[in-house]
Amino acid sequence: MLKLVADEHIFFLNDLLSDYFEIEQYPGREITAQALQSADALLVRSVTHVNRALIEHSPIKFVGTTTAGTDHIDTDFLAQAGIAWSSAPGFNAESVADYVICCLAHLRKENILAKTAKRAAVIGMGHVGPAVARRLAVLGFEVLTYDPPRAERDPTFDSVAWEDICDVDLICAHCALTTSGPTPSQNMINADFLKRQRPGTVFINASRGGVTALDALREHSQHLHLCLDVWPGEPDVPLDVMARCVIATPHVAGYSLQARCRSLDHVLKPLMAMFFPDLSPDALPRIPWPTKNLKVDKNASWEDVVLSLCHPGQDTTRMKDALTQADDTPAARKAAFDYLRTHYPTNHEFAYTYCRTGQATEDDVLRALGFKGK
């Protein structure tokens, strides 16, 4: 039987693929070259670095990553070695966009972001950025968009100048991590960028930690409200920066149950097509798509409703407690961070949640954000 090695936090594999593969699952950081010595396929998440050292001497023929980003995959080596690979672009866009709205709900409830705040900038307009921009528009924001590579591909897309991202209430970073080209994103959120933002601006990064320069965060962000889901040097989170954050979460913005199903679906199809090309589409394993019926108080605001699905404020308390109470070593902090990620409770995306408050105004907002009525 074919053998599949996978990250232990990729759900549903045994239910879906046990008739086709012998399956071995490991913690993502513990997938080693030795574990792949008799494996035909490998499925990973972002914590496993797939490179020459890991797979050169293995019989691996297919690598799938259930992530949108591929900076942890040496795709050049895979191409050179003739190893097929697949990723999951856009799989968590809706989940990350929901997370941003949950952050805004918490910030509004805590009077950190005024309800009169109506000007936002979204950096990166690939899969996640447009989903965020749509939700911000629902809440009445004027949205500036920045994505020069997209503007080069699409003459109808309007990308503001980098220097014009200032005098806004909210900045959301949703770009891929790139190190080359005319506008590399690595360390793009630097001292010059942060210094020109007005006091009280909210900065949310739910993209990659490497787009922010750590020294700049330390020296020039005191006048901002930092909301970080991703971290420079992750999983070794800088405690001084974390302490300054109003929202600090352990890289979980894309962790909805539906996103996890969607990510597996992205890699499952090319995996099965490669090893079982004669299998009819109707016979392919099918991933369940869960929904949630949410009971809410009749006086609940839309902020209350979204926070009942995902509460970044509560997640922040857990993360700060866990990392500050860990032994003061990088290894202990990394272990605490990984524990928070791997034990994070699954939540549901707005679009798969049914609820009604009975208040026309609040229900209108919820429907516009993607919730379903009962």
Is 251 assigned a catalytic role?
yes
The answer for 361, left when phi > 0, alpha when psi is -120 to 50, beta otherwise, is alpha
Beta-bridge partners for 146: 123
Phi, psi dihedrals of residue 85, rounded to the nearest 5°:
-150, 160
The one-letter amino acid at 16: L
Q: Is 234 annotated in the active site?
A: yes
Give catalytic status of residue 208 as yes or no: yes
Q: Which residue has the tokens 């993607």?
A: 370
Four-CA torsion 40, 46, 47, 50, nearest 10 degrees: 40
Task: Provide the residue type at 128 as one letter.
Answer: V
Q: Which of 135, 220, 225, 251 is catalytic?
A: 251
**DSSP state, 24?**
E
Beta bridge mates, 170: 120, 202
Tell me the DSSP string of 83-116.
-EEE--TTTTHHHHHHHHHHHHHHHHHTTSS-TT
Q: What are phi and psi of 159, to 5 degrees?
A: -105, 125
Q: Active-site residue among 208, 225, 333, 356?
A: 208
Catalytic residue among 45, 94, 234, 356: 234
**CA 297, CA 193: separation in Å to the nearest integer?**
42
Q: Inter-axis angle of helices 330-342 and 312-325, to 10 degrees?
A: 150
Active site residues: 208, 234, 251
